Structure 1
Amino acid sequence: MEKFKTLEIVRASSTSAVFHLRLNRPSSRNALSPDSFAELPLALSSLDRNPDALVVVLSGSGHHFCSGIDLAALDSIASGSSPPSGDRGRAGERHRRHIKYLQDAVTAIERCRKPVIAAVHGACVGGGVDIATACDVRYCTEDAFFSVKEVDLAITADLGTLQRLPSIVGYGNATELALTGRRVSGSEAKELGLVSRVFGSKRELDDGVRVIAEEIASKSPMAVTGTKAVLLKSRDMSVDQGLDYVATWNSAMLLSDDLTEAISAHTQKRKPVFAKL
């Protein structure tokens, strides 16, 4: 298993297809450092390529999920935007490239073919919301709280929240949260649709998400990865375009051994056994 400075990958068990990806800077409340942005796409690419992994659970070590971007990372952006020449055009171009680099690290969650489940406890602030909204499914504890905090730091959120949150909670709710930066409790997050379920404690969250992740991992890898791919693609398409896309997808992927095994298992009233992806 790869070693990282800011992340940790742990397999649920030696026979499980569920892998845990943990933000691992607990002393900094898992704030996102420059190393975090470098390592996140590497970790997700590794899990994407791993044939033993079918579901990824993304969580935070310690008492919080993620407190946002590290102030040192913000300093690096500010200092990196002023090249020696003093050319504002070149400074802007350089700054834009750096923002695109940070965006790409978060989008790596969507690029991973395997579904990524966010298990949120404690703070999920700023960059933490960027990460959570890039995940496919979200769960949290009762004491979790969320805040699109960038507006209070004189920043327009630019790592994905403003693009992904409206399709999750609705345009009006996303606008209100982004403009106020206010704190949203776990129960309100459920009401808004930001999370699918709220658990009473961290232990209950871990146990509940484990059951859900294992259930997903027991299904056809072709169907699971195809469902994620089609949902993401259809998000930015009309219904007609989305239907055309899934027709093309299934024309290539539908007739797999997984389909034969699923039908056979259903007929024989047994659990299906699918090959690795």
Structure 2
Amino acid sequence: MDEVEVVVAHRERATLRVGDVFLKVDGDPDRTAVEVTAMALAPVPTPQVLWCTPPVLALAAVPGAPLARLGHRAVSPPAAWAAAGAAVRRLHDAPLPPWTAPDADAVAERLDRECAWITAHDLLPSDLVQRNRDVARAVLRPWTPVFTHGDLQPGHVFVADDAVTGVIDWSEAARGDAAFDLAVLTLGFEEHLPAVLDGYGGDVDVDAVRGWWSWRSLTAVPWLVQHGFDPFAPGCEVDVLRARARA
């Protein structure tokens, strides 16, 4: 009998693995509905939906290995990062999904709220927060909405033989800023941004990508702390903020 592996678990959701089947348990049925619909619409490889009975979604494992994982040394070659960039381009060129993401005003409000929480709990030096807050303001500009994954961590992109074999975890998919997906994909792996952009092609607002690195890290720190994760681990969000402050 296959053992049950807890892949990730927190107060909002949990993912279990039993053999080649992943069971995602989510307390919000809307997120599950978004995930199933987004995978059906996305023009990139996604996991096969085996069945869905909210609050549980059963997915088949995808082949390959994660492109990278935040806090760990990246071993995937530049060609694999370029392939990931090309897959993101296909997604961004696809017809828009029927639901929207927060606009620039909401993005600014969340930045203010999370920075205030970090400061109130004395988690990070105020000058580090302010420097990254200044960098993050680059994202507060109009953008043309595209079909975004919304949580495109390199751990959610699977590759084999320098090709993308699957993209997982679509519950945050929406109409959004293309630079956000590119930033999340390369968060903590700045050295691989050129390869991703080579695969992506076209004009990219690199300042916005850098701004999203700071925004994503600042807004992630409170959530991670509140849910029992460690943003201070080597190579993770706090190290990204320190690197942005030195840039």
TM normalised by structure 2 equals 0.28
Rg (Cα) greater in structure? 1
Of Structure 1 and Structure 2, the greater strand share is in 2
Higher helix share: 1
Whose RCO is larger (CA < 8 A, sep 6+)? 2
